[in-house]
Structure 1
Amino acid sequence: MDLQERVDPGRAVVIVIDMQNDFCHPEGCWGEGGLDLHEVQKMIPTLEHYLNMARRYDVPVIFVQTTHSDVDSSPAWKGRKSQNGDTGRRPTCIKGTWGCEFYGVRPNDGDVIITKHRYSAFVGTNLAQVLNSLGRDSLLLTGVATNVCVESTARDALNHDYHVVLVSDCTATTDEGAQRATEQNIRQGFGWVVPAADICNIWERCMK
């Protein structure tokens, strides 16, 4: 399947992962923890334009929002970063807090919101049911962090038999090397990696 088929407005859906204060705002958990948010901040205008184009061409947009609480945080989940000494870092996206709120881009009327509690947007959510109801089998992935939640979702998407496209300039993380590594992983084993402009150009041609 070529790129035009993968991003066809009749089969594609845009997934926006974890664009939230704790991951993107300078005063959020990552920013206060000293992580470099430069690339995250830089990609937001591109993502905003891309989402507007998706809506213009009737491509559904699904926002994925991480929340955590005591009832969904197992000992294994809480201890996942202990080897790197990160156990003292303030927890991210605690349910009901400012850190959970969307940042930079926000859902419009008609967009779908999926709540997740793990890295992948498929684990413990109804994402697959939503995609089935929409009749969509090709996922255009955006958001943060490219090397963690976005990549986890991409891997699970392919394992659930969805086509995968990583929108390279609408994803970001706090480490450039990690960004490049995920892009290479996707290219080699999981799908396509393309900039937003290439997709928007195809959408425009499809509508002529």
Structure 2
Amino acid sequence: MNLKDRVDPSRAAVIVVDVQNDFCHPEGSWGRSGKNMDFINEMIPALQKFVTAARRQNVPIIFIQTTHSDADSTSAWLSRKSQSSGDPNQTCVEGTWGCGFYGVLPEEGDLVVRKHRYSAFVGTNLAQILNALGRDSILATGVATNVCVESTVRDGLNRDFHILLVSDCTATTSDAAQKSTEENIRNAFGWVDSSKVVCSIWDSLTVVK
């Protein structure tokens, strides 16, 4: 499948992964822990423009929202980062401000899928939603590129969805980690290109209303 087919508005869906206060806002749990938030906040305007362009093309927007509670926090999950500093388990706690969306918000007609693990396919109905919408191509955006976005992309391919990582609409806390994930995806899991390229293809289409 070439790039034009991969971003075809009749077969693509935009997945917005974890663009939430705790991961993106300077006062969220990541910001308070001292993580470099610059790359994430520099990415948000491009994501806003891309989501707006996708809506104009009637491409479905699916927001992925991480939530955590006692009901889904196993021993293995809670101890996953025991060798790193800080408390990883106070992020996106269900019902808190930190769990809320940041910068780009769901609108009428958009879908929200709540997840409790890194991949948006684990324990969710995301695959069923995509199949019901007749969508076999994922345009992946959001944070963090090297964790939840990459986990989702890998699982998406394993479920036979075509993958495009929208490079300037994804971000993480270091440029090295961003580039490493882009290389991983490009080499094994899908395609990588910018929102400008995707929007240029969309702009060239004759949309029949």
Please state which band the TM-score falls in when normalised by the shorter chain: over 0.9
Contact 2:81 2:88 in 1 (8 A): no
- What stretches of structure 1 move > 2 A for 4+ residues in a row? 83-86
Deviations 1:13-37 (A, max 9, x none): 0000000000000000000000000
Residue 184 of structure 1 aligns to a residue in which SS?
helix
One-letter amino acid of the structure 1 residue matched with residue 175 of structure 2: E
**Residue 190 to residue 74, structure 1, CA distance change in 2 (3 Å):** same
Q: Would you say how many aligned residue pairs link Structure 1 and Structure 2? A: 207
CA shift, 1:137, in A, is 0.3
Q: Is the counterpart of residue 68 in structure 1 residue 89 in structure 2? A: no
Q: Is the counterpart of residue 182 in structure 1 residue 181 in structure 2? A: yes
Which runs of 5 or more structure 1 residues have no equivalent in the other structure?
none
Identify the residue that residue 52 of structure 2 maps to in structure 1.
52
Residue 83 of structure 1 aligns to a residue in which SS?
coil
**Residue 120 to residue 90, structure 1, CA distance change in 2 (3 Å):** closer
**In 2, Cα distance between the equivalents of 1:175 and 1:148?**
12
Contact 2:78 2:89 in 1 (8 A): no
Give the % identical residues. 61
One-letter amino acid of the structure 2 residue matched with residue 151 of structure 1: E
Deviations 1:88-126 (A, max 9, x none): 356100000000000010001100000000000000001
TM-score in terms of structure 2 length: 0.97
One-letter amino acid of the structure 1 residue matched with residue 102 of structure 2: Y
Deviations 1:162-202 (A, max 9, x none): 00000000000001100000000000000000000100111
One-letter amino acid of the structure 2 residue matched with residue 158 of structure 1: L
CA shift, 1:83, in A, is 2.2
Deviations 1:122-143 (A, max 9, x none): 0000101100110000000000
Q: Is the counterpart of residue 192 in structure 1 residue 200 in structure 2? A: no
Residue 83 of structure 2 aligns to a residue in which SS?
helix
One-letter amino acid of the structure 2 residue matched with residue 72 of structure 1: D
Identify the residue that residue 17 of structure 1 maps to in structure 2.
17
